[in-house]
């Protein structure tokens, strides 16, 4: 069975500092992996996705994530945080060989300190 673990339900970084949000997954087959962002009072928006092409994936708003099979990780990073990055971030995994469901992590709320 697939699962996703996001380390840290809240992460605080200073404006201009590196953002690192951690995600580990479990899947018995090669997965698709996603990061979604949710701004206050809005729905989820896709940030980026890994689909077995390049292991370093670039997304919107300067975010990127690296797929590391040996570590079963898909951590999200951004070199320099902006105030507008304050939101909740969800890592998700999909088993492309089985069905069309996505399993979401519990989310990490990112706080940006001025």
Partner 1 sequence: NAGVTQTPKFQVLKTGQSMTLQCAQDMNHNSMYWYRQDPGMGLRLIYYSASEGTTDKGEVPNGYNVSRLNKREFSLRLESAAPSQTSVYFCASSSHRALETYEQYFGPGTRLTVT
Q: Applying CB under 8 A, which residues contact partner 1?
A: 9, 32, 34, 36, 41-46, 49, 51, 90, 94, 96, 99-102, 104-107
Separation of alpha carbons 10 and 1, rounded Å: 26
- Which residues does 98 contact at the CB level (< 8 Å), separation at least 6? 29
User: Is the Cβ of residue 7 or residue 102 nearer to partner 1 in the bound state?
Assistant: 102
In the complex, the smallest distance separating the C-beta of residue 44 from partner 1, rounded to whole angstroms, is 4
| Least spacing, CB of residue 69 vs partner 1, in Å | 18
Which of 18, 9, 11 lies closest to 79 in space, CA to CA? Answer: 18
Instruction: Closer to partner 1 by CB, 20 or 46: give it.
Output: 46
Q: Determine contact, residues 67/58, Cβ cutoff 8 Å.
A: no
Cβ nearer to partner 1, comparing 41 with 70: 41
Least separation, in Å, of the C-beta of 71 and partner 1?
22
- In the three-class reduction of DSSP (H, G, I as helix; E, B as strand; rest coil), residue 30 is classed as coil
- Reading the block at residue 26, the tokens are 């479990």
Please, which residue, 32 or 66, has the CB nearer to partner 1? 32
How many C-alpha atoms does 24 have within 13 Å on its Cβ side? 6
* Least Cβ distance, residue 83 to partner 1 (angstroms): 23
């Amino acid at each position: 069975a697939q699962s996703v673990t996001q380390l840290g339900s809240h992460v605080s970084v200073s404006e201009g500092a590196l953002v690192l949000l951690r995600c580990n997954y479990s899947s018995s087959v090669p997965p698709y992996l996603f990061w979604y962002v949710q701004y206050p009072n809005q729905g989820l928006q896709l940030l980026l996705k890994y689909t077995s092409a390049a292991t370093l994936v670039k997304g919107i708003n300067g975010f990127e994530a690296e797929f590391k099979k040996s570590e079963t990780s898909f951590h999200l990073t951004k070199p320099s945080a902006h105030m507008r990055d304050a939101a909740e971030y969800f890592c998700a995994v999909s088993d492309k060989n089985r069905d069309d469901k996505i399993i979401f992590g519990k989310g990490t709320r990112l706080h940006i300190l001025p």
